Chains A and B, each alone.
Chain A
Amino acid sequence: MDLTWSASEESFRAECRSWLEEHVPRPGLPSGDTSEGFALHLEWERLLHRDRWAVVSWPEAYGGRGASLWEWLIFEEEYYRVGAPQRVTQNGIFLLAPTIFEFGTPAQQDHYLTRMSSAEDLWCQGWSEPNAGSDLAGITSRAARDDAAGGWRLTGQKTWTTRGAFCTHLFGLFRTDPDAERHRGLTYFLVPLDAEGVTVRGFGRLDGDEGFAEVFLDDVFVPDGDTDPAGGGTLGAVDQGWGVAMATTTSERGLTLRSPGRFRATAGRLVDLAREVDASGCLSELVADRVADAWIDAEAYALFTLGDVTDIVEGRSPGARSSYNKIFWSELDVRLHEVALELLGADAELDGPWMKGYEFALSGPIYAGTNEIQRNIVAERVLGLPRK
């Protein structure tokens, strides 16, 4: 074991820290889930991109720095430590991009990746449908072949689409083989939201902001995109979309979306709050214990992640174990906020940052495969309990 950072990693950290401290907006930005807030977040995203901090682990050709996974962790730690804004581009960068890197044609990679890191194209995900949430394989939105026009015609409805009302593109699964069932006969599509036949209706999430959208597709034409990916197209092989999509859900559940930096930063703020309450003589031992416990859990998550990164760097895939991460960080995030609200006493109900954060945290155990689904995965694929 070696729990020290190298000199070059330390200097990378120093560079992150000094840039972030100089550029992070003060006071923080309003929620990115309103149109005004989203616009301000876009300015921030473009600033990150200008100085090559938007996608540090990507190749330089697409706006990154070719940073190692360790450096990415360091960046994330510094990013949240300084209280920088939530990334409104994260669904594209963390969910779609790994799939494009793995399955995209060279033309798709060249077209999409830079436009994504520069926040010119803003991606939302089109997985869930009104009748297909946890049971994702039950999706019914379909894509019919239009050979004459050289493409596909998409029809159906996607929902719970995060920031759909503010995005420019959607990625998601559509049924291309109407006779196939469940996981078969699905294809991964990239769809510009300004295409004819697309209607997007934003609606309020739990916190009241317009962070969700329904996306209606009515005979939307998407060209094959082999020669010019600008109009959208398929990603990966036709009818093989489930396997292609699983590559991104693994990213989402696992390491890539949820670095420990965020939770350690929240735990640090929780401890600060507890100290304030303690100074006024109002901290009960019971709540102090819960603070300590949540803080330990944030540290445990950070260490667990170091183990994951070690495995990945050395060529051992965490595989189904990534379901552990998702359950743990999402429930930890809720707990951190619950304890903070308890510390706030009667002020808890004020619509302040802890309540906002609490509302946000509550989505974690639900999205990206509910934690009930994740527990099934742990039980069946990690522990080896029988499916039936």
Chain B
Amino acid sequence: MRFAPTEDQVDFRDAVRALLADTCPPEAVRAAWGGRVGEETGGGGGDGRVRAAWSALAEMGVLGVLVPESAGGLGLDDEDMVPLLVECGRAALPDPVTATAYVAAATLRDVGGEVADGWLPRLAAGEVAVAAGPLGDAPLAGALTADAFLVGDDAVLRWIPAGDVELEPLESVDGSRGLARLRGAATAGTALVEGPAAATVSAAAADRAALGAAAELVGLSERMLAMTVAYASERRQFGVPIGSFQAVKHQLADASLAVAFAAPLVLRAANSLAHGDPDAGLHVSMAKAKASSAARTAADASLQCHGAIGYTVEYDLHLFMKRAWALSAQAGGPDQHRARVRAALGLR
């Protein structure tokens, strides 16, 4: 028994954290915003990508963690990948690392075949970005710049090169999401898997999408709390730092508690997916339900403890908060994942 990342995993995580601190500071996230955060705040006009960070991640091997070594990747597993997604969340990196390097890479690795052989090396090299999600009406993040789409349901899992499907752009509350709906996806591209096997493969992809979001939410939450602790230690009212007030302390303690107890669920789900545990889906749902709630708690506390400055687009908090709102609801909100836990417990 050992419930902690290995030394290698810690080193890798720390390296990614440092890399993203350099290549994806809040100004870069702001610049990746598409419209609404306007020129006056130094943002806007972006397409939801921070390419300097993306290519640095590719160079470090992050985008190929799950890609087999024969295809130019590192051939590692979920336990190695998930802590890195926490770091992507901490930086609010808008690029589709979860969809590309986690969901798509693991799915292509597992199904194999011509599509996998063709695309996996390019995934690992950072040459292509993927948007992934359920086949249907759900908005897909990173769709506007995706080179391919991975969408599935119980009957089929499709791989659709960009250009083979029409996009309906959507405006997200988080202007860096590059969000769009696909039109006509049901008949576009290639069917990677069809028939009964599709349900299993699509479910695994959905689980990784949910766990990736959960991991990012943990990172986002920790970042929001760190920002808020720093601000509350500096900001003085009534002659003292506001962080010395118990009302502020207790809100932040509660939020940090929620995150601290969500994080182990995320790690465990990664372990279960890596080992093909039959309860992996349940473990993912436990993690996503709690990470989503924890991120809400952290975002609420952070906004409240910042006061009016947090309620502006000039200040950086909103970049992290809006991403947290988006990811809480993506890949199944807390309600949907709790329902799966209920079912596993044999309850209605």
**Is the CB–CB distance between A2 and B1 below 8 Å?**
yes
Q: Is the CB of B347 within 8 A of A292?
A: yes
Which residues of the other chain, B, contact A359 by a CB distance below 8 angstroms? none
A-B contacts at CB below 8 angstroms, number: 143
Residue B85 lies at the interface, judged by CB distance under 8 Å to chain A: no
- B265 contacts A300, CB within 8 Å? yes
Cβ–Cβ < 8 Å partners of B171 in chain A: none
On whether the beta carbons of A304 and B260 are closer than 8 Å, the reply is yes
Q: What's the minimum C-beta distance from B189 to chain A, rounded to whole angstroms? A: 36
In A361-388, the 8 Å CB interface with B consists of 372, 375-376, 378-380, 382-388
Task: Determine whether the beta carbon of A385 is less than 8 Å from that of B338.
Answer: no
Q: Which of B225-283 contact A (CB under 8 A)?
A: 225, 229, 232-233, 240-241, 243-244, 246, 248-250, 252-254, 256-257, 260-262, 264-265, 267-268, 271
A296 within 8 A of B: yes
Residue of A nearest to B272 (CB): A3
Residues of A within 8 A of B262 (CB): 300
Partner among A291, A380, A385 whose Cβ is within 8 Å of the Cβ of B347? A291
Interchain nearest-CB distance for A19 vs B (Å) = 22
- A interface footprint on B40-67 (CB within 8 Å = 1, 0 otherwise): 0000000000000000000000000000
- Given contact pairs A295-B341, A310-B3, A383 touches B225 in the complex (Cβ within 8 A): yes
> Is B289 interfacial (CB-CB < 8 Å)?
yes
A289 CB → nearest B CB, Å: 5
CA distance A309 to B271 in the complex (A): 18
Please measure, in the bound complex, the distance between the C-alpha atom of A271 and the C-alpha atom of B348, giving whole angstroms. Answer: 12
Contact A1-B3, Cβ < 8 Å, known A378-B257, A385-B252: yes
Contacts A292-B342, A296-B341, A299-B286: A3 and B348 contacting too (C-beta < 8 A)?
A: no
The reply to whether B271 and A3 contact each other, CB–CB distance below 8 Å, is yes
CA of A304 to CA of B266 in the docked complex: distance in angstroms? Answer: 11
Asked whether any CB of chain B lies closer than 8 Å to the CB of A327, the reply is yes
- Chain A residues in 8 Å Cβ range of B240: 386, 388
- Chain B residues in 8 Å Cβ range of A385: 229, 232-233, 241, 243-244, 248-249, 252
CB distance from B225 to the nearest CB of A (A): 7
Return the contact of A310 from the options B2, B256, B286, B289 (Cβ within 8 A): B2
Interface contact A300-B261, CB-CB below 8 Å? yes
A304: chain B residues within 8 A (beta carbon): 260-261, 264
A278, B347: Cβ atoms under 8 Å?
yes
CB-defined contacts of B223 to chain A, threshold 8 Å: none
Q: Are A386 and B254 in contact, with the CB atoms below 8 A?
A: no
Name the CB-closest residue of B to A378: B253
B132 CB to nearest chain A CB (Å): 25
Q: Which of A271, A293, A300, A383 contacts B256 (CB 8 A)?
A: A383
Contact among A288, A295, A327 for B257, CB-based, below 8 A? A327
Residues of A within 8 A of B5 (CB): 1
- If A271-B347, A375-B249, A378-B257 touch, whether A296 touches B1 (CB-CB below 8 Å) is no
- Chain B 163-199 near chain A by CB (<8 Å), digits 1 or 0: 0000000000000000000000000000000000000
Give the docked Cα–Cα distance between A280 and B1 (Å).
Answer: 41
A216: interface (CB < 8 Å): no
Do A288 and B342 have beta carbons less than 8 Å apart?
A: yes
CB-CB nearest in chain B for A270: B345
> Do A382 and B1 touch across chains, with their CB atoms under 8 A apart?
no
Question: Chain A residues with Cβ under 8 A from B246's Cβ?
Answer: 372, 376
Could you tell me the distance in whole angstroms from the C-beta of A290 to the nearest C-beta in chain B?
Answer: 9
The total of chain A residues at the interface (CB under 8 A) is: 50
Q: Is B290 an interface residue (CB 8 A)?
A: yes
A70 close to chain B: CB less than 8 A = yes
Q: Are B347 and A274 neighbours in the complex by a CB distance under 8 Å? A: yes
Please classify how large the interface on chain B is, using the bins under 10, 10 to 19, 20 to 34, 35 or more.
35 or more
Check if B2 sits within 8 Å of A283, measured CB to CB. Answer: no
Contact between A3 and B347, CB atoms less than 8 A apart: no
Please measure, in the bound complex, the distance between the C-alpha atom of A315 and the C-alpha atom of B249, giving whole angstroms.
30
Contact with B along A134-153 (1 / 0, CB 8 A): 00000000000000000000
Residues of A within 8 A of B286 (CB): 296, 299-300
Q: Is the CB of B225 within 8 A of A292?
A: no
Binary contact track B1-12/A, C-beta < 8 Å → 1, others 0: 111111000000
Minimum Cβ distance to chain B for residue A358 (Å): 21
CB B247 to nearest CB in A, in angstroms, measures 11
B180 to chain A, nearest CB (A): 32
Closest to A307 in B: B3
Tell yes or no: B113 within 8 A of A by CB. no
**Chain B residues closer than 8 Å to A387, beta-carbon distance:** 244
Report how far A242 CA is from B138 CA in the complex, Å: 59
Residues of A within 8 A of B267 (CB): 1, 303
Q: In the complex, what residues of A have CB within 8 A of residue B233's CB?
A: 384-386
Q: How far does the alpha carbon of A385 sit from the alpha carbon of B243 in the complex, in Å?
A: 6
Is A201 at the interface (CB under 8 A from chain B)?
Answer: no
Alpha-carbon distance A326/B241, docked complex (angstroms): 27
How far, in angstroms, from A3 to B225 measured CA to CA in the complex? 30
- Asked whether B257 lies within 8 Å of A324 as measured between CB atoms, the reply is yes
A5 near B1 with CB under 8 A, answer yes
B328 to chain A, nearest CB (A): 15
A43 contacts partner chain B, Cβ-Cβ < 8 Å: no
Q: B5 to chain A: closest CB distance in Å?
A: 7
A386 near B243: Cβ-Cβ < 8 Å: yes
B244 contacts across to A, CB distance below 8 A: 385-388
Chain B residues with Cβ under 8 A from A328's Cβ? 257, 261
In contact, A3 and B268 (Cβ under 8 angstroms): yes
Judge whether B153 is part of the interface by a CB distance below 8 angstroms: no
Q: Known: A300-B261, A303-B264, A385-B232. Is A289-B338 also a contact (CB below 8 A)?
A: yes
Given A376-B246, A385-B244, decide whether A293 and B4 contact each other with a Cβ distance below 8 A: no
Q: Are A307 and B256 in contact (CB under 8 A)?
A: no
- Residue in chain A with minimal CB distance to B254: A375
* Given contact pairs A1-B3, A386-B244, A375 touches B250 in the complex (Cβ within 8 A): yes
CB neighbours (8 Å) of B87 from chain A are none
Most B CB atoms within 10 A — which of A283, A306, A379? A379
Q: Can you list 6 A-B pairs with a CB-CB distance of less than 8 A?
A: A1-B267, A3-B271, A300-B264, A304-B260, A383-B225, A385-B229
The 8 A-B pairs with the shortest beta carbon distances in the complex, nearest first, are A379-B249, A306-B3, A303-B264, A385-B243, A375-B253, A378-B253, A292-B341, A300-B261
Instruction: A271-B345, A303-B264, A314-B4 given; name 8 further pairs at CB < 8 Å.
Output: A1-B4, A275-B347, A283-B348, A289-B339, A296-B290, A297-B290, A328-B257, A385-B243
